[in-house]
Amino acid sequence: MLASSGLGAPKGYGAPSPALADVRGEKAGSAQRRASVVDVLGVRPGMSEVEAQRQLGSFGTRREIENEEAESAGVERELWTLRGSHFRYVVLGVEGKRVVAVEAFARPERRTLRYRDLGDLDQAKKLGFYIYEWITPGREGEPGVRIQARGTDPEYLASYSIVRDRTPARKPAPMHDAAGAGPPSGP
């Protein structure tokens, strides 16, 4: 189920993930907070396509989305039409048999998921009137994720996406001596 902060999360969205403290980058007693949602109905970037399909299969039916532009980039897209969920649709982005993106679209008649249910709004980057983005860095060489929530209502979102962050981690540049002959020699 969808992992949330547990602070006012709508009924049926699930309990917080035990790994949330790690995902948020929190240590015991830390006041630092990050986006807390790392999956949609148990599907998250990095999991296998087969595992994601199995997870979503109990909620609805799958259709391939034909998109030449996405296919040329090597990303397949799947549309899942859901029943019995707070979400109407879920779209998966799959590359090399792994999920690289997942996007959920809320049912317009059920306004239950608030922006603040995804994470601390004070930690979000505000990209528009009702567009919030959280970036969670990866660990140990793994890419991080970008979580983006959008809507037309000031409190309730219409959709949110979780995408593997493709921004490469910056490595410190090697130091060179004044002549530019290479790294400095040892003592």
Residue 146's pLDDT band, with cuts at 50, 70 and 90, is: very high
Kindly tell me if the per-residue pLDDT of 79 is higher than 60.
yes
Question: Per mean pLDDT, which of 16-25, 68-77, 101-110 is the most reliable?
Answer: 101-110
pLDDT, position 167:
63
- pLDDT for the residue 81: 95
Two tokens at 51? 């595992």
What's the half-sphere exposure (Cβ side, CA atoms, 13 Å) at 158?
8
What does the H/E/C string look like for the chain? CCCCCCCCCCCCCCCCCCCHHHHHCCCCCCCCCCCCCCCECCECCCCEHHHHHHHHHCCEEEEEECCHHHHHCCCEEEEEEECCCCEEEEEEEEECCEEEEEEEEECCCCCCCEHHHHCCHHHCEEEECCEEEEEECCCCCCCCEEEEEECCCCCECCEEEEEECCCCCCCCCCCCCCCCCCCCCCC
Stated pTM of the model: 0.68
Q: How far apart are CA 120 and CA 39, in angstroms?
A: 16
What's the pLDDT tens digit per position in 39-66? 999 999 999 999 999 999 999 999 877 7
141 has a pLDDT exceeding 60? yes
| Range 11-39 average pLDDT | 41
* Residue 177: closest CA among 186, 168, 165, 164: 186
82, 68 Cβ separation under 8 angstroms: no
